[in-house]
Amino acid sequence: MGSNKRGTSYRSFGYLEPGRDYRAFALAPELDRAPEELVPLDAEQEKRARRLLESCVMISLHEHLGVFPANIAESPEYTREGRMATAFQGLAAAHWDAVFDNLMDGILNIESKSGWKWTEVLHDLGMRLCDLAHQDFVIPATKVEDILEAHRTGKVAWIASLEGAAMIENELDRIEILYGFGVRAMGITYSESNALGSGLKEPRDGGLTRFGRRAVERMNQVGMLIDCAHCGDQTTLDVIEASKKPIVLSHIGARALWNSNRLAPDEVLKACADKGGVIGIEAAPHTTITRNRTTHTLDSVMEHFEYVADLVGIDHVAFGPDTIYGDHVGLHQVYAGALSLKEAQAAAGAEGPPNPPFQKVPYVRGLENPTEGSKNIVRWLVKRGYSDADIAKVMGENILRVLREVWV
């Protein structure tokens, strides 16, 4: 029921009085912040796209569903308040049945300068869950049946996900605590190294540590999905080898098309697929560009999709657009250091020809936010003549297959 969302009139923290109970900020529009640019279809294609949007279980493997300030420069003050609004209006206009929401991740600086502290993660998670508890359109999901129920009833299944595991420090039991609070997916590292392994920004990748191997085992035992989208190459390969269950690269692209630490080499993409995992294609600004398309748009993102699908097979590809509600490019500028953007976007050694100059964009045309992405990816696939079966796979079935194997 991806195209027939029930919707809601609820707005975040509607149980409180803004200005008295909490500091309110003017937030960015959830819809129409930038002109929507739908992939043009003829009448027959429109009919087919609508049918697929209704019948497919639509899952985004990686998004951020918080709404940012209209003045993006206010984001540090906003996030330090520890109270991020959820885009209920945007989700009601979208077609996602389930979304892996990665909360504040790299900008989680509620109590500290460096972020990712245990108490900060619990604060962020608990505040979001409290807000969700006061409405029934976006429902916390902890099992596959929750996703299918959201599809049947026109709701949105919200899946708590964390991009890195730094906050567990050297405490394995914290994995179980996070699971108990509803977290169902977690990255091994978020760009920089931690007690588990090496992040993608490090000059040398030491691979998965002994503690990291125990953490992988514990995540397998409790039924938590493992993500290596921000890990170094060797650490990712080690995780794939150590894990008894498939893993995901939730938001990534092909380094063969653009030489960047943020993207994965063929060896890593193949290893993930060979273990039964899924690769979610990334669309955050200035990531999945290509040597053929140096301006970041939907078409450059889909070039990565087609390359990865040809490399590993259609059964192992999905989408993790990694989009937000607000000025994503401005957010990157405000938090460039915390997000390790310079190191992440740097060339990953002498792999292939050098990158040509690329065009900076204010937003990714066709994929500006989670709502637009939920429409345009299917429209693009329809326009290119992909079969119903293949569209259903990449829009959700491939992810469901992995979740049925990993989640308990």
The full set of domain ranges for the chain reads 43-406
For 105-131, give one letter per residue: b (16+ CB within 10 A) or e: bbbbbbeeeebbbeebbebbbebbeeb
pTM over 0.85: yes
* Displacement of CA 263 from its chain's centroid (Å): 14
pLDDT at site 10: 96
User: Do 218 and 239 contact (CB within 8 A), yes or no?
Assistant: no
pLDDT exceeding 90 applies to what percent of the chain? 91
* C-alpha torsion 212→114→229→389, nearest 10: 120
Cα first-last separation, the chain: 25
User: Do 178 and 186 contact (CB within 8 A), yes or no?
Assistant: yes
Residue 350, SS3 per DSSP: coil
Residue 134: partners with Cβ closer than 8 Å, 6 or more residues away: 10, 14, 15
- Pairwise CA distance, residues 198 & 211, whole Å: 12
Per-residue pLDDT band for 267 (boundaries 50, 70, 90) equals: very high
pLDDT at site 344: 67
- Alpha helices by DSSP H, listed for 64-201, are 75-80, 88-92, 118-132, 144-153, 173-180
User: Which two tokens mark 315?
Assistant: 């059964």
Which among 235, 173, 159, 225 has a CA at the least distance from the CA of 204?
235
Residue 247, SS3 per DSSP: coil
What are the tens digits of pLDDT across the range 326-336? 999 999 999 88
Residue 152, SS3 per DSSP: helix
CATH classification for the domain delimited by 43-406, as one of 1.20.1090.10, 3.40.50.1220, 3.20.20.140, 2.40.50.100 = 3.20.20.140
Q: What angle is formed at CA 387 by the lines to CA 384 and CA 389, rounded to 5 degrees?
A: 140
pLDDT at site 7: 85
User: Do 402 and 278 contact (CB within 8 A), yes or no?
Assistant: yes
Mean pLDDT over 33-62 rounds to 97
User: Which two tokens mark 397?
Assistant: 């079935």
